Amino acid sequence: MKKFLVKIFFFCLISVIVYPIFIGSLGSYWLTQRRLTKNLIFNQGGNSFMWSKLHEADTTKDIDVLILGSSIALRGIDTRIFKEYGLKAFNLGSNYQTPLQTEYLLNKYLNQFSPKYVIWEVTPITFQNRGLESFIDIFSNSNIDKGALKQSVFISDIIAWNTLIISLKRQIFDEFDNYNEREIKGSTKYVQGGFVESNNLDFDDRDKLDLYSIDFLEYQKLAFEKNLNLLNQSNVKILLVQSPTTYEYNKCITNWNYINSYFESFEENELIVDYRNYNEIIPNFGKDTSYFTDKMHLNRIGAKKYTKFLIDDFIETFSY
C-alpha cells in the first residue's frame, strides 16, 4: 500500500510540475500552428482589442465617465461622443464581462481613473455565466497577478488555467512586449478611449434564438454588490443600463420582471444608483435592424445614436 500511495503522490506531484512545462512548450508551439489547441485558448488582442485597451488603460488617468460591462457596452457606447459633450470617458467593456471580471478591473484601475460616474451595462446573461470567455479576454492581454489567480480559482476551468500558464510564460520570457495589435481587424476598429467600432452595416440574422429565463448566479450577484459598494465608497455615481438589443432578442428573455426588479432594488438604498432599461425606454430602437450588426450588438450608426441618447439621459439624471 505504501509503495502504491507514494507512487500516486509522486505521479500527481510530477504532473503538477511537468504539465505547465508541457503547456508552455508544446502548447505554445501548437498555438502558433493553430492546431491541437482544444483546451488552450490564448486570445492576444482578439476581437475586443483587449491588448490595445489595457495598454491605453495603463496610462489613462482622471476621467469623468467609466464605462463597464460586456461586448454590448464595448461596441455600443462610443467614447468619442462623450468628448463632444466635453466629457472624458473610457470604455473598459470586454467580451462577456461578468461582475467577477468587473471586480478585477475596478480593483486595478479605479484609483488610477478616479471617475466621477460609472455607466455600467448590466447584460443579464453575464450574471448567469462563470466568466470564462471574459477571463481569457483579459488575461491573454494582461500580466498575471494575485487577482488573476483568485479569478481562476473561482472559474475552476482547465481552459482558464491553461491561459494563465501561457500568460505567465510570456510574462517570464518578456514575450508580451513583442506584440503589436492592428487598429483595424476586418470590419471592426479600435477607437481611442476603449470603444470598438463595428463597421459591418449588414445585419446578421443567422443566430436562432429560443425562449429562456435567466437565473443569476449567487457569486455573480455578490461580486456585483461588492463592486457597487466599492464605487459607492469612492463617491462614484452609477448608472446601470440595459443598452438596446434587437426586439427579437429581448422577447426571448422571459423573465424581464425579475431582472428589472433586481437592478431597480439598488435605486432604493443608500447607493447613488439609477437603473435604465433602454429597451423599454426606447422600444422602437430595437425594432430597426439597421442599427445592429447582429441580434445583440450595435453597429457604428446605432452606437452613435444610442450614445447620444444615453448621454442626454445621463446629464438629466445626474444634473451634470
Partner 1 sequence: MLFNSISFLIFLPIVFGLYWFVFQKNLKLQNAFLLLASYVFYGWWDWRFLGLIIASSAVDYWCGLKMSTVDSQQSTENSANSTIEGPGKETGNKNLTKKQPWSMVSGLWTGKRLYLTISLTFNLGLLAFFKYFNFFIDSAADFISLLGFQPHISTLNLILPVGISFYTFQTLSYSIDVYKGKLKPTKDPIAFFTFVAFFPQLVAGPIERASNLLPQFFKKREFEYQQGSDGMKLILWGLFKKMVIADNCALVVNPIFENYQTASGLELIMGAILFAFQIYGDFSGYSDIAIGVAKLFGFDLMTNFRTPYFSRDIAEFWRRWHISLSTWFRDYVYIPLGGSRVTKVKAIRNIFIVFLVSGFWHGANWTFIAWGGIHAALFIPIFLIGKNRVHLNEGDHMIPSFKELIQMISTFTLVSVAWVFFRANSIGDALGYLIRTFSNPLFPNSFNWFGYHLRVALVIFLVLEWIGRKRSNWIEIIPLKWYRYPVYFLVAFSIMYWGVFTQKMDFIYFQF
Binding residues (CB under 8 A) for partner 1: these are 1, 3-4, 7-8, 11, 14-15, 18-19, 22-23, 27, 35-40, 132, 157-159, 162
Pair type for strands 184-185 and 188-191: antiparallel
Residue 63: all three cell numbers together? 476621467
The CB-of-169 to partner 1 minimum distance in angstroms stands at 15
Q: How far is the CB of 252 from partner 1 (least distance, A)?
A: 19
Q: Which is nearer to partner 1, 158 or 184 (CB)?
A: 158
Nearer to partner 1 by Cβ, of 8 and 281: the residue is 8
Tell me whether residue 30 or residue 258 sits nearer to partner 1 (CB atom).
30
**Shortest spacing between CB 9 and partner 1, in angstroms:** 11
SS3 at position 152: helix
Give the nearer residue to partner 1 in terms of CB position, either 108 or 130. 130
Exposure of 87 in the CB half-sphere (CA atoms within 13 A): 25
Q: Which three cell numbers stand for residue 154?
A: 473561482
Using the minimum distance from each CB to partner 1, give the nearer residue, 53 or 169: 169
Per-residue buried b or exposed e for 78-89, using 16+ beta carbons within 10 Å of the residue's own CB: bbebbeebebbb
- Looking from the CA of 239 toward its CB, the CA atoms found within 13 Å total 26
Residue 154 beta carbon to partner 1: minimum distance, rounded to whole angstroms:
14
**Nearest approach, Cβ of residue 2 and partner 1 (Å):** 9
Task: Calculate the CA dihedral of residues 107, 79, 280, 232 and round it to 10 degrees.
Answer: 30
Q: How far is the CB of 111 from partner 1 (least distance, A)?
A: 35
What is the strand order of the sheet 273-277 is part of? 89-91, 65-69, 117-121, 237-242, 273-277
Rg of the chain over all Cα atoms, to the nearest angstrom: 21
- Residue whose CB is less far from partner 1, 39 or 269: 39
